[in-house]
């Protein structure tokens, strides 16, 4: 039943998207770029369709992930361990970052807190990259040992 409903919704959304795409193509690039009325009447509905599709996909992904997580205790445990390890990397990176006000290219100033979060992201990337490379090297050595 759910499959039939989703199939009908997908067909309806596809038809609406196709109609708006044809309308955009027929109007032409220059007409749309020159007229704000055409942009709001042709492009805006197309953008809303994209938002709706994205929201639907996001809801289904989150729902199925949660259903699968809570249906199997071992997968929930391993997921929570992974999330905890990632959170630990972020906390370590945050304490390693210093952060200071920094001038940006457009003349504005990046706050010390913003700079610290940028530096946190960079440190987290380096830590995770080192862990990934280490895991690949360890896996390769383990295979060679067998």
Interacting residues of 100 by C-beta distance below 8 A, sequence separation 6+: 112, 115
Tell me what pLDDT residue 39 has: 64
Interacting residues of 80 by C-beta distance below 8 A, sequence separation 6+: none
Among the listed residues 20, 58, 18, the one whose alpha carbon sits nearest the alpha carbon of residue 38: 20
- The model's pLDDT over 29-87, given as tens digits with 9 standing for 90+, comes to 776 677 676 666 677 777 888 898 899 889 989 998 888 888 887 788 888 899 999 99
Mean pLDDT score of the chain: 87
With a cut of 90, say whether residue 13 has pLDDT above it: no
- The predicted model scores a pTM of 0.59
Three-state SS string over 1-12 comes to: CHHHHHHHHHHH
Tokens encoding 19: 């109609």
CA geometry: angle 97, 103, 109, nearest 5 deg: 90
């Amino acid at each position: 039943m759910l499959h039939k409903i989703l199939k009908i919704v997908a067909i309806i959304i596809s038809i609406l998207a196709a109609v708006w795409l044809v309308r955009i193509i027929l109007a032409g690039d220059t007409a749309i770029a020159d007229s704000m009325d055409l942009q709001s009447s042709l492009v805006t509905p197309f953008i809303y369709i994209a938002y709706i599709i994205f929201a639907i996909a996001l809801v289904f992904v989150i729902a199925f992930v949660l259903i699968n997580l809570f249906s199997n205790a071992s997968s929930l445990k391993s997921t929570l361990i992974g999330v905890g390890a990632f959170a630990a990397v972020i906390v370590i990176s945050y304490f390693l970052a210093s952060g200071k006000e920094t001038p940006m290219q457009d003349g504005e100033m990046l706050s010390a807190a913003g700079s610290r979060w940028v530096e946190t992201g960079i440190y987290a990337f380096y830590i995770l990259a080192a862990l990934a490379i280490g895991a690949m090297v360890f896996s390769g050595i383990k295979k060679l040992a067998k």
